[in-house]
Amino acid sequence: MTPADRLPLETRRLLALAWPVVMTSLNWTLLHVTDVAVVGLVSTDQVAILSASRSLSFITIVAGLGFSSGILVFAARADGAGELAASGRVLREGLILALGLGSALGLILYCFASPLLLGLGVAPRLVPETAGIIRVLGLSYPLLMIIIAVSYFLEGISRPGRVMVVNLAILPFNAVLAWALSGGHFGLPVLGALGAVLATAIAYGIGAAGMLLAVWTLPRAAARGVRDFTMLAWAGVGAGAWRLLRFGIVPAIASGLELVGFAVLIALSTQLGDSVAHGFQIVFSIHNVIFSIALGLGSAAGVRVGNAVGEGQPAAAIPRTLIAVTIASVAIGLIALLLVLAAGPIVALFPATGAVHHVALAMLVIWAPFIIFDGIQVVLVYALRSLGDQVIAGINSIIAYFLVTGGLGLVLVQGGWGPTGLVLASGIGMVAAALLHAIRFYAISRRVRVQT
């Protein structure tokens, strides 16, 4: 088969793997967007509290995703090599990692919520109520980490559709419960931001149960050993979980610091007033919706690159990654154009005051073109991880998002740029990440071609 023949086939494979992950990511994004919308019906100050809580919770969530990233990589490699039993072992190791990691992160949030929020620069007046919300969320982290671990496993063995089904099933439940608990409907007390977080925590529990059921009912489940609870099957999984943890250390640090950069922007927005904080939260929510496409294509690229490594054909990872980058650039570029042309109606979808809509509209038009670079960098990060280059990829992300985005945000806001400084810092960080990852992928590609 010639390269021209392989191009449409690989494109179809990538899209088949990507779209369920896009829907899954979009589901979680919509879950958070729903929280912003229903809490916005209560009051702007409650949205500011919800925003402040996310400045910390998002950091720990993405750190958990980073720590767990090896599950997708090793599952995809085992699946590419046709070693079904080995892929099932990755699942068992991932579950042990999830329980330990979720408990540790939850304990940190529960015990140190207030000082961590103050350290991120959240306005002191918001800290007491926000800390209570963070403690509630921390108790649900073991369940969240199980969802992440099983999701990565199913994506790694090219079964992302099962992840999508579970997540889409819990979205309506969470939306109704968040609306009821935050606004005091159905005879419930008005809990505001706390109600939305309680609904999310309950959704984590339902989602974790659904994920485990999705694994249990896999075709060839016996061959993968996912139903094997014998001592022999679970022997040594602690060492395997430690291997996954070691793989994920740098991605976790990078992901955490990447979100610290964005959390700094969120915290800075709270210092510019409730209207700016709410407006920036709207822009951030729109970003998360679009980021779902990048995550889907990144996951697909990571799986196909991992398959190539497992197949013993690492050179095949290069065109697979470039195809994914091209798809991401075109798709997200079209969405960026739509955001610029229809910024007003899009912002108006979020319940808020006129002042909040005005600020959000001004920020969105400036920020929209930068998201193309964000899509490119996500695809390259997943590809580099599956090629075993997660350390340098992590360092690049730290430079781009922690140093450039976070540092530039502080400089611009303190320099009087206001809301415009927030979105410029975010966008310039995206450009830096895309350039750094592209340079590294080029270097790895040359090395792989020479070795092959």
Q: What is the 3-state secondary structure (H, E, C) of 90-119?
A: HHHHHHHHHHHHHHHHHHHHHHHHHHHHHH
Query: What does the alpha-carbon distance between residue 171 and residue 28 come to, in Å, rounded to a whole number?
Result: 8
Q: Of 410, 435, 417, which is closest to residue 366 (Cα–Cα)? A: 417
Asked if 168 and 180 touch (Cβ cutoff 8 Å), the reply is no
Task: Locate all alpha helices (DSSP H) within 342-370, ordered by sequence.
Answer: 343-348, 354-367
73-112 pLDDT, tens digit each: 999 999 999 999 999 999 999 999 999 999 999 999 999 9
Distant-in-sequence, close-in-space partners of 378: CB < 8 Å, separation ≥ 6: 291, 294, 295, 297, 298, 328
| 245 CB-near residues (< 8 Å, 6+ apart) | 67, 70, 97, 101
Contact (Cβ atoms closer than 8 angstroms) between residue 166 and residue 31: no
pLDDT tens, the chain, 452 aa long: 555 546 788 889 999 999 999 998 888 777 777 887 888 888 777 888 887 888 788 888 888 999 999 999 999 999 999 999 999 999 999 999 999 999 999 999 999 989 988 887 787 888 888 888 899 989 999 999 999 999 999 999 999 999 999 999 988 888 899 889 888 888 888 888 888 889 989 999 999 999 999 999 999 888 999 988 888 889 889 999 999 999 999 999 998 888 788 878 888 887 888 888 888 888 888 887 888 889 999 999 999 999 999 998 999 999 999 999 999 999 999 999 999 999 889 988 887 888 888 889 999 999 999 999 999 999 999 999 999 999 999 999 999 999 999 899 999 988 888 888 999 999 999 999 999 999 999 999 988 888 76
